[in-house]
């Protein structure tokens, strides 16, 4: 009997030590976090794909879009390429998706899904740097382009920037019904890695969003025109944050291999966030 008691005491001590070590290991490694990279495509053919951006080409106005931010952002440049001024009516211009329609005026109304665009692009120089390839010689930035105003006069051969609303900031894409697969290599990555892939087209997209811009060449808006640009999510990649960790949050993740103005990302997700 004494021998048996000693044996059980010894086994109990070993098991207690083992569970302690397992607990310490679990605490040291911490929870696993994930990232989702969301790929965007235009719905209509008048939005063209350039090397860096999506660009709407109109008769008088071009609109160039950027989405890259944590949670996504609808930031855009409006370029008046004509030789006559135009007036943009922000009260009738808006961001919209399946859940939200928000007028661009007033900019800071309570409850709006405001983006961090004004934080990301803090000065006109930052905006200029972002869109520099598309600002032609002789174009000038329009003053007061980012202030809260119901209408903006955009002079001939000038441009302005706007970034107001997040793209459904609480949306994470579920992978519950999908099996993990190998995420293919992209530029800057050394190896493929496991993850989940969602793909679709404009007819059955998980998310469709965009904006409309109302403008005129007459101050009384008697010749009003409307630009309605729509985009959809055609692919979502979900994988461990470890494969997305080459980014600098303070610099809006521009160093990430997945960085593109035609995509956005959602980082630091738990499995429960999207499953």
Q: What is the domain range of residue 23?
A: 1-30
- Asked if residue 115 and residue 23 are part of one domain, the reply reads no
- Asked if residue 48 and residue 3 are part of one domain, the reply reads no
- Asked if residue 52 and residue 1 are part of one domain, the reply reads no
- 41 has pLDDT over 50: yes
- Asked if residue 265 and residue 224 are part of one domain, the reply reads yes
pLDDT tens digits, one per residue of 141-184: 876 545 568 999 999 999 988 877 888 777 789 998 899 888 87
pLDDT band at 14 (very low <50, low <70, confident <90, very high): low
* Domains contained in the chain, number: 2
- Asked if residue 58 and residue 2 are part of one domain, the reply reads no
Residue pair 79/134 in contact (Cβ under 8 Å)? The answer is yes
Q: How many Å apart are CA 187 and CA 242, to the nearest integer? A: 17
- Asked if residue 203 and residue 167 are part of one domain, the reply reads yes
pLDDT band at 24 (very low <50, low <70, confident <90, very high): very low
Burial 250-266 (b: 16+ CB within 10 A, else e): eebbeebbbbbbbbbbb
- Asked if residue 244 and residue 208 are part of one domain, the reply reads yes
Tokens coding 58 = 């109109």
Q: How many Å apart are CA 87 and CA 170, to the nearest integer? A: 34
Listed range (75-89, 158-172, 206-220) with the worst mean pLDDT: 158-172
- Asked if residue 24 and residue 85 are part of one domain, the reply reads no
- Asked if residue 196 and residue 95 are part of one domain, the reply reads yes
Residue pair 36/269 in contact (Cβ under 8 Å)? The answer is yes
- Asked if residue 21 and residue 88 are part of one domain, the reply reads no
pLDDT reported for residue 25: 46
- Asked if residue 161 and residue 25 are part of one domain, the reply reads no
- Asked if residue 190 and residue 209 are part of one domain, the reply reads yes
Tokens coding 275 = 């499953």
Q: Give the residue-averaged pLDDT of 60-65.
A: 95
User: Is 265 strand, coil or helix?
Assistant: strand
pLDDT tens digits, one per residue of 109-128: 666 777 655 555 556 677 77
């Amino acid at each position: 009997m004494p021998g048996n008691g000693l044996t059980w005491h010894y086994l109990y001590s070993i098991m207690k030590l083992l569970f302690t070590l397992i607990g310490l290991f679990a605490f040291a490694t911490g929870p696993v976090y994930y990232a989702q990279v969301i790929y965007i495509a235009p719905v209509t053919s008048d939005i063209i794909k350039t090397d860096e951006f999506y660009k709407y080409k109109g008769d008088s106005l071009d609109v160039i879009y950027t989405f890259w931010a944590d949670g996504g952002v609808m930031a855009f440049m409006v370029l008046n390429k004509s030789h006559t001024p135009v007036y943009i009516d922000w009260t009738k211009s808006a961001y919209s998706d399946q859940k939200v329609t928000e007028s661009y005026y007033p900019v800071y109304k309570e409850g709006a899904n405001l983006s961090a665009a004004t934080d990301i692009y803090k000065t006109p120089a930052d905006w200029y740097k972002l869109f520099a390839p598309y600002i032609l010689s002789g174009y000038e930035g329009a003053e007061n382009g980012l202030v809260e105003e119901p209408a903006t006069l955009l002079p001939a051969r000038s441009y302005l920037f706007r970034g107001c609303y997040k793209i459904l900031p609480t949306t994470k894409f579920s992978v519950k019904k999908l099996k993990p697969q190998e995420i293919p290599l992209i530029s800057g990555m050394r190896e493929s890695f496991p993850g989940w892939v969602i793909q679709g087209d404009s007819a059955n997209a998980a998310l469709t969003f965009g904006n409309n811009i109302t403008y005129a060449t007459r101050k009384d808006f008697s010749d009003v025109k409307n630009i309605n640009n729509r985009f959809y999510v055609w692919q979502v990649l979900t994988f461990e944050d470890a494969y997305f960790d080459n980014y600098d949050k303070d610099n809006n993740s521009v160093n990430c291999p997945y960085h593109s103005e035609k995509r956005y990302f959602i980082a630091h997700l738990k499995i429960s966030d999207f499953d």
